[in-house]
Structure 1
Amino acid sequence: MSEKNKMYRGTLFLTVSTFISQLLGMLYIIPFYGIMGGEENLALYGYAYTPYTIMLSVASAGVPGAVSKFVAKYNALGAFKTSEKLYKSSLVVMVTSGFLVFGLLWFLAPLIADIQLIAQSDTEVAWNKEDITNIIRVISFAVIVVPFMATWRGIFQGFESFGPTSVSGVVEQIVRITILLGGSFVAIKVLGGSIQLGNQVAVFAAFIAAISAALVLFFFWRKRKPQINKQVESDNTGIRLSYKTMYKEIITYAVPFIVIGITFPMTMFIDQLTHNNALSIAGVAEEYRDAWFGMLNITTQKLVMIPVGLASAFAISILPFITKSFQQKRFDDLENQVSSMVVMQMFFVIPAAIGMMILAAPLYTAFYSFNEMGIKILTFYAPVCIIISLFSMTASIVQGIDKQNLTVFVVLSVLLTKGLLNIPMITKFYTVGAVMSTIIALFIGVILNFIIIKKYGKFHFRKIMSTLVDIFLYGIVMLLAVEIVYLIFMMNFDVTNRAVSVALLAVAVPVGVIVYFILAFKSGLADKILGERANAIRRRVKFL
């Protein structure tokens, strides 16, 4: 199988599994929203998940991504024994790291709770220190398993094997959601427990789900091990690295992965620390602050993260191939790989973002309930998925061309911009201001990444500009078609009704998808992006 086909195959695996996981992650919020009873009750769930995500990045220490890159690099050189030495020891390191950071998060939970409460201003808040401390401690158990499991996925990816990551990701999500919904329902509706107990059961689901994913990876490992053993036995390169040398290299890879991994969680944490206080400064009544925060960091974020999740699949799949091409100094191949993946990513993400903007009202109403502020936040949040997607992809490319040290500078620029703009933007535009500051900060990060790739990867972005313009223009035509459907519904039905919103989405989304793909295939844009796969799709879908 050619390098390009391998890359597309890996991307397809990860994209499909990520789409399934993200779709499930979006759909579960509907019953969970009903079980918990509104955005303000979901705020506690958000208070736990943001510090957990940050500490998870610390626990992993960027090792999963670094291991993937290390294994891909030394496999490209034929040094399979070096790869084996690294991945065996890295799993032990990750188990140790998981236990250490679990302990750290457990003991720091009261301090983290205090910090979050201070950020809520001095008015009465729905959740006290004990509530926030307890839920952070419950979710901290997941930190024990997730780094180990994520590193194992990185090992498979370094061998250009994406099936284990894909399958384990779907299993993890199914188990998590099943326990989350079933457990919280039983706790609140059957046993008559508190909202706090329901939230605690919901976050504990992450621990059980991670164990399930690790068991799936073990199954794949037993299946693939004989082939990996043959590769190790064929190693006659003579390349042997000491543990000290190996982990010195891993650390140089890992630090930027940590920084990239915590970028978006840190922007959310900045919101968490400043949002309610900034609304207080702006004179917003206390009863709205937790609800609006829930809309910002949970309800709208769940919807936006679907296309963002697809982008992460592209970023994961491209890294081993970029690393291999760069190590073998095949710069023409590298340029083709970057071009293919960026335009393919935007081919899906741009229309998704445009569609989400125009359908923000029925989307929010269908999944939650009609809420003007929630709809407004989602309308502004939708374009964020384009910026996050580009940031993830370009950051992965920067890693692949061995300029990961510059990533630290890029991310610091993003977080500094977000930190400086957040309170002024929120006081001016309320919760929407937090979204605006995120867009500005991440856009700066994307520009800086593009500059690095152009300079050190010998990549010329003008080659893909016309393709990106075509994607955007066809997205606008799609938007007009969807808008016509939307207006017809508005003239005849009450679109604030959930059932009507569901019906509107059931009609408008297929119309938008069909219009976009007809334009893409009839114009030849799909051929440029998908290659021979475009003709294969035409044979199955006759009207294209």
Structure 2
Amino acid sequence: MSKSTILRGTMLLTGATFFSKLIGMIYTIPFESMVGSGGGQLYSVAYVPYSIFISLSTVGIPLAVSKFVSKYNSLGDYQTSRRMYKLGLRFMAVMGIIAFLVMFFGAEVLAKISISKDSEITVADATSVIKMISFALIIIPAMSITRGFFQGHQSMGPTAISQVIEQIVRIVFLLVSVFFIIEVIGGTTANAVGFATFSAFIGAIASALVLFWYWKKRKPYLDKEMSQQVKTYDIPTKTLFKELFRYAGPFVLVGLAIPLYQQIDLIMLDRTLASLDFDELVRSNAIATITLYGHKIVMIPITLATGLSLATLPVLTKSFVDNKKGEVFKQINQSLQIIMLLILPAVVGMSLLGNEIWGAFYGVSDFIEFNGSLLSWYAPVALFFGLFAVTASILQGINQQNYAVISLIAGIILKVLLTIPLLHLMGPKGAVIATLIASLGTVSLNIWRIKASIQFPLRQLIKRSMLVSIFTIIMAIVVLTSKWLLSFWITYQDGRLENVFILFVTVTVGGCVYLWLSYKSTLLERVLGGRIGFIDKITRRKNS
């Protein structure tokens, strides 16, 4: 399999993931208008622990299976790959059922953990919603391992298509059911949110059907591969699972980190703010913004940047094993610099335009300044979430995956210790600052370990990050100037369409300035590893 084919497959998967995240963010616009901040809080009460259960029940195995299958296919041992898939499928089916039973019958306990006695959300409503979403756990673990099997064969299409179909079906069912319950039959918000969470199960069924179709279509080819095999390593089942779980460790960390931070916020935010005499509306807006509505927005640049960044890592392990230090350093530098290049200007822009972004997505209300301010504070967290995902993968590539566990635990401890004091000191945004400090600490530990374990030089990363920062500051000045000039005619208080126009002007101007500076300085081509063709055509720049 050529490097270009692998890269194309990775880009296809990145594009599918980005599209899924994008429509997963867009649906919150009509969803918020129908269920409000209270419905958003109730949705998070179910969805955040569900995300944790998904991470735990899959324990990173789908991506580990991808790596495992790829390894043994390259050795010509297709029987071992197929055997691992079958064993993994059974194991994941059992894990999914166990996770479902724990979440379904533990729904009341989870509800009591996540909501305070002062909340307007009742334990009964929260329990019902958690039970509704738990059904998805029956299907998703076994389904996801099939995606891993296809990816191990360097076939990204089944994963990409099934992922997009799953998201489309989920969101259509979610919006139709919520609209029907709220607008047609005049049902309760709790019932509407319950069906909104149940959409995860419906989407999973659609995805499983797509994967089954791909399996039937590809099976003759896969069987032909096995029939041509001349050697098998005949590895004991116990040894297979040991190798699989060794691969799986770092992947589960990336999946667990963000839901764990959100779960801490769910547990601490409502109770602490209630003790500080914040009213219910303020509390529900804070929780809904941090765990759902605002979070969906800031995840968009993370998805794109980490996808492009991780595309450079498949060859990292091979370079490390072959002791090609120069290649290892180059691959690590490129991965980290892509994150800085793409996410830093995005989060700075979000911070400067928090009110306008909130107004454009969710409309102008009495809480626009409150929610917009929280979004502005929350945006920088995206940079460290993205860096954590990449640094954890790098640690795996250089055989330091166990250290990622230590850094994650350190971050979680920091988050737990800081959240309540900062809530007392700063109000709702204290929870965001706690996440920012904790995630920064985790990333700092990971980078320190990368440097210490392989003597990775930080000079180039620091130098280019400083250049990115300078360009971002210039971009910020341009954005603020554009926003100030527009304020003589329109502001974020004037309405949703006005906010869309403000964003269009400021983002376009600021983005073009940043892109132009990055291009003219050759920063773009140095970080991305080549000329940027479409910009070359626009500027008529000739190849050197």
Normalising by structure 2, we get a TM-score of 0.92
Point out the more displaced range, 318-327 or 469-478.
318-327
Mapped partners of 2:51, 2:114: distance in 1: 15
* Cα separation, partners in 2 of 1:362 and 1:467, compared to 1, 3 Å: same
What is the match of residue 430 of structure 1? Answer: 427
SS of 1:491 mapped into structure 2: coil
Of stretches 325-334 and 255-264 in structure 1, the one that deviates more from structure 2 is 325-334
C-alpha distance 315-204 of structure 1, shift in aligned 2 (>3 A): farther
- Aligned equivalents of 1:506, 1:543: Cα separation in 2: 27
Match of 1:89 in 2: 87
Q: Judge conservation of contact 1:323–1:401 (CA < 8 Å) in 2.
A: yes
When residues 331 and 216 of structure 1 are mapped into structure 2, their CA distance, relative to the original with a 3 A threshold, is: farther
The answer on whether the counterparts of 1:176 and 1:209 sit within 8 Å (CA) in structure 2 is: yes
Q: Which residue of 2 aligns with 1:400?
A: 397
Distance 1:329 1:422, change over 3 A: same
Cα displacement string for residues 407-463 of structure 1 (whole angstroms, at most 9, x for unaligned residues): 221111111111111100111111111111111111111111112222345533323
Question: What letter corresponds to residue 358 of structure 1 in structure 2?
Answer: L
User: 2:408 — aligned with what?
Assistant: 411
The 1:458/1:208 distance shift into structure 2, 3 A limit, reads farther
CA distance in 2, matches of 1:533, 1:19: 23
Secondary structure at 2:499's aligned position in 1?
A: helix
Q: Which residue of 2 aligns with 1:15?
A: 14
* Among 480, 483, 486, the residue aligned to 1:483: 480
CA distance in 2, matches of 1:228, 1:454: 42
- 1:230 deviation in Å? 5.3
Q: Report the alpha carbon displacement of residue 229 of structure 1 after superposing the two structures with TM.
A: 4.5
1:161 — aligned with what?
A: 155
Alignment of 1:136-151 (within 5 A): 136-151=130-145
In the TM superposition, what whole-angstrom CA distance separates every residue of 1:7-48 from its partner, at most 9, and x where no partner exists? 543442233223222221221111111111x21222111101
Deviation track 1:283-306 (CA, whole Å, cap 9, x = no partner) reads: 323442122211221111111111
Match of 2:383 in 1: 386
2-structure distance, mates of 1:9, 1:291: 41
Q: 1:44 aligns with which of 33, 37, 42?
A: 42
1:69 to 1:410, Cα distance in 2 relative to 1, 3 A = farther
Aligned amino acid, residue 68 of structure 1: S
1:531 counterpart (500, 517, 529): 529
Q: CA deviation at 1:473?
A: 1.8
Q: Aligned letter for 1:263?
A: A
Q: CA deviation at 1:255?
A: 3.7
Q: Deviations over 1:194-213 (max 9, x none)?
A: 11111011111111111222
Report how far residue 355 of structure 1 moved. 1.3
**2:319: which partner in 1?**
325
Aligned amino acid, residue 530 of structure 1: L
Match runs of 1:486-525 below 5 Å: 486-497=483-494, 498-525=496-523
- 1:315 is displaced (CA, Å) by 6.2
State the AA in 2 paired with 1:538.
D
2:198 paired with 1:200:
no
The farther-off stretch of 329-338 and 353-362 is 329-338
Taking the aligned partners of 2:114 and 2:528, their CA distance within structure 1 comes to: 47
**Is 1:301 the counterpart of 2:295 in the alignment?**
yes
Q: Structure 1 pair 531/397, CA: closer, same or farther in 2 (3 Å)?
A: closer
C-alpha contact (below 8 Å) 1:279/1:430 kept by paired residues: yes
Question: Quick check: 1:308–1:386 contact (8 Å CA) kept in 2?
Answer: yes
Match of 2:66 among 46, 57, 68: 68
AA in 1 matched with 2:257: T
8 Å Cα contact 2:54-2:141 kept in structure 1:
yes
| Matches for 1:273-352 after TM superposition, within 5 Å | 273-314=267-308, 317-318=311-312, 320-352=314-346
CA change 1:47–1:315 in 2 (3 A) is farther
CA-to-partner distance for each residue in 1:465-504, whole Å, 9 max, x for gaps? 3222222222222222221221112122232122211111
Alignment map for 1:89-128 (pairs within 5 Å) = 89-117=87-115, 120=116, 122-123=117-118, 125-128=119-122
Tell me the CA shift for residue 362 of structure 1: 0.5
Q: C-alpha displacement at 1:139, in angstroms?
A: 0.2
Say if 2:164 is the partner of 1:170.
yes
CA RMSD of aligned residues (A): 2.3
Q: Tell me the distance in 2 between the aligned counterparts of 1:316 and 1:390.
A: 11
Determine the C-alpha separation between the residues in 2 that align with 1:416 and 1:109: 25
> Residues of 1 paired with 2:231 and 2:459: CA distance?
40
After superposing the two structures, state which structure 1 stretch, 190-199 or 70-79, moved more: 70-79
Answer yes or no: is the 8 Å Cα contact 2:490–2:498 preserved in 1: yes
Contact 2:9 2:154 in 1 (8 A): yes
Contact 1:10 1:161 (8 Å CA) reproduced = yes
Task: Output the CA distance in 1 between the equivalents of 2:324 and 2:204.
Answer: 38
Instruction: Decide whether the 8 Å contact of 2:313 with 2:331 is kept in 1.
Output: no
What is the CA distance between 1:507 and its match in structure 2? Answer: 1.6
Instruction: Could you tell me which runs of 5 or more consecutive residues in structure 1 were left unpaired when the two chains were aligned.
Output: none
TM-score of the superposed pair, with normalisation by structure 1: 0.92
Identity of matched residues, %:
37
* Partner deviation per Cα, 1:230-287 (whole Å, 9 max, x = no partner): 5545555653311110102222333443333211101110111100122133332344
Moved more, 126-135 or 148-157: 148-157
Q: 2:87 is matched by which residue type in structure 1? A: S
Specify every segment of 5 or more residues in structure 2 that has no aligned partner in the other structure, as ranges.
Answer: none
Distance in 1, matches of 2:418 and 2:537, equals: 51
Instruction: Tell me how far apart the structure 1 counterparts of residues 227 and 447 of structure 2 sit (CA, whole Å).
Output: 40
Shift of 1:386: 0.6
Look up the equivalent residue of 1:21 and give its one-letter code: S
Q: Secondary structure at the match of 1:262?
A: helix
CA deviation after TM superposition for structure 1 residue 222, in Å: 4.3
Q: 1:517 to 1:311 in 2, by over 3 A?
A: closer
CA distance 1:156–1:214, shift in 2 (3 Å): same
Matched residue count: 538
Go from structure 1 to structure 2 and tell me whether the alpha carbon gap of 1:538 and 1:234 turns closer, same or farther (over 3 Å shift).
farther
Q: For the residues of structure 2 that align with 1:421 and 1:33, how far apart are their CA atoms?
A: 30
SS, match of residue 241 in structure 1 = coil
Distance 2:70 2:421 in 1: 45
The structure 1 residue matched to 2:452, chosen from 451, 455, 458, is 455
The residue that corresponds to 2:34 in the other structure is 35
